[in-house]
Amino acid sequence: MALSTAPTPTTDDTPAGLHDGGDRRRRWRLPFSPYHLLLLPLAVVFVMPLLQMVLASFKTDAEIRQVPPTFFPAHPTVDGYVRLFHESDVLRWLANSVVVATCAILAHLVLCSMAGYGFSRLRFAGRGVSFVLLVGTIMIPTQLLMIPTYIMFTKLGVVNTLPAVILPWLTSAFGVFLMRQFFLSLPRELEEAARLDGCSQFGVFWRVVLPLAKPALATLAIFTLLGSWNDLIWPLIAINDDRWYTIQLGLANFQGQRRTEWSLLMSGNVVATMPMVVFFLVAQRQFVATMTFSGMKG
């Protein structure tokens, strides 16, 4: 993985003092790299909002309204969480989001890898045209699709049901493209050997190619997880019934009803955000690889 490799010498802490009056520098040298003086405040700025969110979720509303505010909760309480679970359907929204994300990831992994394999390895009539059409749709923004998709889903009777949120996440041109690029980078010899041994085309794909594709599948899964878990605008349009809210839509609308009940809202925020944060901390390498990959797409 790229981030663990050695940094380039340009920005390394090499003793550049050789050129510009090294003596004075050496005498005043800090016991640690001076970059800590820059990076530590920076890290604090980035973490502080999340820290404030977590701390507020353990305060009472009265304590949050105190001026000047406390930093740590004076009397830590889980009251916000208790009320959140009693006064909102947050568990149901979470379950909906888990269902959406699970379906999205599974469908993405199966459909994108199959299509990616087909487009990279198999030769058949219509391949070129359908691939060009597919890749062309990468440029189409969601905003253009919202209105016709809403009308279409209304006619199909899926609006206001969970499938309305899941359907657009079944597969994606970006995912197909990602998997195709990955398969193109694999050597063909293994597959040819398996074919000669009498393995079917699907058997080759399932038993030989997919096990090799784990890094690409991990990237695709994380990409889909982040997108489907965090999406707001499409559930907002497709779902009116609060039984089918996703966690993001549920919280956004709950905020509208409980404007200033901060301990409640921050508890909800923690519940919605922490699964992704924990995932990130556990699988940081894969997350970073995913972010880097979408950056390298261009």
Partner 1 sequence: MGGARRAATGWLFVGPSTLVILGLSLFPAGWAFYLSQLKWNGFSEARAVGFQNYTRMTDDPELGSAALHTLFFTVLYVPTSVLLGLGIALALNRRIRFIGLYRTAVFVPFVASAAATGILSNYLFDPQFGFVNSVIRRLGLPPQRFLEDPNQAMTVIALMSLWASLGFTVVVYLAALQDIPRDLVEAAMIDGANRRQVFWHVVLPQLTPVTVFTTIWQLIGALQLFDLVYTTTRGGPVESTKTIVYYLWEQAFKQLNFGYGSAVAYVLFAATMVITLAMILYSRFAKVQAF
Residues 2-21 that bind partner 1 (CB under 8 A): 2-3, 5-13, 16, 19
- Each as own residue / partner, the long-range contacts of residues 249-258 (CB below 8 Å, 24 or more positions apart, any chain) are 249/93, 250/88, 250/89, 250/90, 250/93, 251/90, 251/93, 254/88, 254/90
**Does 94 contact partner 1 by CB under 8 A?**
no
Q: Quickly list DSSP for 65-82.
A: T-SSPPSS-SS---HHHH
Q: Is 41 in the site for partner 1 (CB under 8 A)?
A: no
228 sits near partner 1 (criterion: CB under 8 A): no
Q: Is 152 in the site for partner 1 (CB under 8 A)?
A: yes
**Which class for 18: exposed (0-12), middle (13-18), buried (19 or more C-beta within 10 A)?**
exposed
The residue among 102 and 142 lying less far from partner 1, judged by its C-beta, is: 142
Between the alpha carbon of residue 141 and those of residues 3, 138, 145, 292, the distances in Å are 31, 8, 7, 21
User: Which of 64, 101, 103, 105 is in the footprint of partner 1 by CB under 8 A?
Assistant: 64
Choose which of 23, 28, 32, 241 interacts with partner 1 (CB under 8 A). 32
- Residue 117 as a binder of partner 1 (CB under 8 A): the answer is yes
Question: How near is the Cβ of 29 to partner 1 at its closest, in Å?
Answer: 14
Instruction: Tell which one of 23, 27, 124, 187 touches partner 1 (CB under 8 A).
Output: 124
CB of 2 to partner 1, least distance (A): 5
Counting contacts by CB under 8 A, is residue 81 touching partner 1? no
Q: How far is 212 from 192, CA to CA, in rounded Å?
A: 15
In whole angstroms, what is the distance from residue 103 CA to residue 120 CA? 25
Q: Is 277 in the site for partner 1 (CB under 8 A)?
A: yes
Q: Does 112 bind partner 1 (CB under 8 A)?
A: yes
Q: How far apart are CA 193 and CA 242, in angstroms?
A: 54
Q: How many CA atoms lie within 13 A of 71 on its CB side?
A: 1
**Given candidates 21, 31, 126, 198, which one binds partner 1 under the rule CB under 8 A?**
126
- Determine the interface stretch with partner 1 among 88-96, 125-133, 184-192, 207-215 (rule: CB under 8 A): 125-133
Angle of helix 284-296 versus helix 262-282 axis, rounded to 10 = 80
Sign of CA dihedral 240, 243, 249, 252: positive
Structure tokens at 274: 């922490």
Binding flag, residue 177, partner 1 (CB under 8 A): no
**Which member of 140, 190, 193, 282 binds partner 1 (CB under 8 A)?**
140
CB proximity list for 288: less than 8 A, separation 6 or greater: 1, 3
In angstroms, how far is the first alpha carbon of the chain from the final one? 19
Q: Which is nearer to partner 1, 9 or 187 (CB)?
A: 9
Q: Which of 15, 25, 29, 42 binds partner 1 (CB under 8 A)?
A: 42
Q: Does 37 bind partner 1 (CB under 8 A)?
A: no
Is 190 a residue that touches partner 1 (CB under 8 A)?
A: no
**Closer CB to partner 1, 3 or 82, in the complex:** 3
Q: How far is the CB of 179 from partner 1 (least distance, A)?
A: 10
